[in-house]
């Protein structure tokens, strides 16, 4: 009797095919691994694509220097468990070189990751970076190909992309050009959580309900931390929250939630009508930091 494949089986098979296409066509790829839920799925897909051998690429993280410790500790732990090479480069290194200049000490550094990423690509001569972006996250990402071509300046031009007919991908690039490959581009946030549940994947603790001091700003919940302290006139309150997405502390907001298990998170995700970036990203609220503009400048 033949087995009926679930939608997760189909998504997994497509993602594994994409990863193997990267390995087959590119001479020096890298997998972007932050420790977040999407990149955790990428690691499992890489295991299924290439184990029992080693991954044909290192793991790379561009750290803003303002990431949650729970996530960076998990990043290091998971890379060590897999026995894979982890390369970490920081926006703070770019600041020391003078290639990133902040307007103020507490300016969000998320958009400046583009500079550090391009410097890292040049340093190691990566010709492809595998990322965990999904089309359901944001309208600019919905425009992007699975194999997204970037020019010699690391820039994305949505009008200059290659056709992807019949799942045929073209990773050909001249020296200095780059491909960004997104194996889970066709997944949704709900697919990610269902896959995490099915595969029994471990995650950083901040994805689950916990108590944290919060101040409400423009309808979003801003955690109170060393890099996001209370300002004059603000009042903090302790709330039970979890993170739908993780990133730089200055621009990543949690949501009020009591979901302490993956099953509870799946139920919440299935019922929500707001995208994770729409509900949790402080930096997406201004046109200056729009995703499309950042991607044109070299962002993930």
Is the model's pLDDT at 242 over the cut of 90? yes
Is the model's pLDDT at 255 over the cut of 80? yes
Q: Residue 179 pairs with which residues in a beta bridge?
A: 128, 149
The pLDDT score that the predictor gives to residue 87 is 98
Above pLDDT 70, what percent of the chain? 90
The pLDDT score that the predictor gives to residue 174 is 78
Q: Determine the Cα–Cα distance for residues 295 and 297; give it in Å rounded to an integer.
A: 5
- Contact call for residues 214 and 241 (beta carbons, < 8 A): yes
Is the model's pLDDT at 285 over the cut of 70? no
The pLDDT score that the predictor gives to residue 217 is 82
The pLDDT score that the predictor gives to residue 1 is 58
What digits encode the pLDDT tens for the residues 195-241? Answer: 999 999 999 999 999 999 999 887 888 899 988 888 888 889 999 99
pLDDT (average), residues 263-287: 74
What digits encode the pLDDT tens for the residues 45-58? Answer: 999 999 999 999 99
| Residue of higher predicted confidence among 3 and 186 | 186
How are beta strands 147-150 and 128-130 bridged, if at all? unpaired
| Residue of higher predicted confidence among 18 and 250 | 18
Tell me the whole-structure pTM to 2 decimals.
0.90
pLDDT (average), residues 108-136: 90
E runs forming strands in 56-205: 59-63, 86-90, 128-130, 147-150, 178-181
Above pLDDT 90, what percent of the chain? 59
Is the model's pLDDT at 297 over the cut of 70? no
| Residue of higher predicted confidence among 63 and 232 | 63
| Residue 288 DSSP class | G
Is the model's pLDDT at 284 over the cut of 60? no
Residue 148, phi then psi, degrees to nearest 5: -95, 115
At 293, is the pLDDT very low, low, confident or very high (cuts 50, 70, 90)? low
Average pLDDT, the chain: 88
64-68, 225-229, 296-300: range with highest mean pLDDT: 64-68
What digits encode the pLDDT tens for the residues 139-165? Answer: 677 778 889 888 877 777 777 787 877
Of the given ranges (83-87, 133-137, 282-286), which has the lowest mean pLDDT?
282-286
CA angle 199, 204, 209 (to 5 degrees): 100
């Amino acid at each position: 009797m033949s087995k009926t494949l679930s939608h997760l089986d189909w998504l997994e098979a497509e993602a594994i095919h994409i990863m193997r296409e990267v390995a087959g066509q590119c001479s020096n790829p890298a997998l972007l691994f932050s420790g977040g839920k999407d990149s955790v799925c990428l690691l499992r897909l890489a295991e299924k694509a290439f184990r029992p051998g080693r991954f044909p690429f290192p793991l790379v993280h561009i750290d803003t220097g303002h990431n949650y410790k729970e996530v960076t500790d998990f990043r290091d732990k998971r890379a060590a468990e897999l026995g894979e090479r982890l390369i970490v480069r920081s926006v703070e290194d770019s600041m020391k070189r003078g290639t990133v200049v902040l307007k103020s000490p507490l300016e969000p550094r998320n958009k400046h990751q583009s500079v550090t990423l391009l410097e890292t690509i040049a340093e190691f001569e990566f010709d492809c970076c595998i990322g965990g972006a999904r089309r359901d996250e944001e309208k600019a990402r919905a425009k992007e190909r699975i194999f997204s071509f970037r020019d010699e300046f690391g820039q994305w031009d949505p009008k200059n992309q290659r056709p992807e007919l019949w799942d045929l991908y073209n990773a050909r690039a001249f020296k200095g050009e780059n491909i960004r490959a997104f194996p889970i581009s066709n997944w949704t946030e709900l697919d990610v959580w269902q896959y995490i549940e099915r595969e029994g994947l471990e995650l950083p603790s901040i994805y689950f309900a916990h108590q944290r001091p919060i101040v409400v700003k423009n309808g979003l919940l801003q955690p109170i931390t060393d890099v996001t302290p209370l300002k004059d006139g603000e009042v903090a309150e302790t709330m039970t929250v979890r993170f739908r997405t993780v990133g730089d502390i200055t621009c990543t907001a949690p949501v009020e939630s009591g979901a302490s298990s993956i099953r509870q998170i799946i139920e919440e995700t299935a019922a929500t009508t707001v995208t994770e970036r729409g509900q949790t990203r402080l930096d997406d609220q201004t046109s200056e930091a729009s995703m499309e503009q950042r991607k044109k400048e070299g962002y993930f």
